[in-house]
Amino acid sequence: MSTAAGPGTRGGVPGFRAVLDAERFPLRRWQVLAVADDYGVDTRTRTKLEQIPDRPYVDAGEVMIALSMTPTHLASRTPL
């Protein structure tokens, strides 16, 4: 796994996406969490990653989709 920080906001999801793009997939949740810890994601992103389903992810896009469906993410959205 790489430990170099990617471009974008350090600790936030945009930069973390770039870090994930550099990883070799498939990755399971525990591996995504290890990459996140190496990168130094913020507490909110770490909490959201803990909530994604434990399954193999084929690319960074699948991880981002799973992140957008976590209870923490959905709870922070403003109702229509």
The answer to whether residue 4 is domain-embedded is no
pLDDT at 74 over 90: no
pLDDT at 3 over 50: no
Residue 32 to residues 43, 72, 76: CA-CA distances in angstroms? 15, 17, 22
The answer to whether residue 78 is domain-embedded is no
Range of the domain at 67: 13-71
Of residues 76 and 17, more confidently modeled: 17
The answer to whether residue 6 is domain-embedded is no
User: What ranges in 1-80 are assigned the alpha helix state H?
Assistant: 13-21, 29-39, 43-50, 60-68, 71-75
Q: Could you give the CA distance from residue 27 to residue 31 in angstroms, rounded to a whole number?
A: 6
Q: In total, how many domains does the chain have?
A: 1
pLDDT tens profile 14-39: 689 999 999 999 999 999 999 999 99
Q: Could you give the CA distance from residue 71 to residue 35 in angstroms, rounded to a whole number?
A: 21
Question: What per-residue confidence (pLDDT) applies to 10?
Answer: 46
The answer to whether residue 18 is domain-embedded is yes
Of residues 74 and 59, more confidently modeled: 59
> What does the mean pLDDT of the chain come to?
84
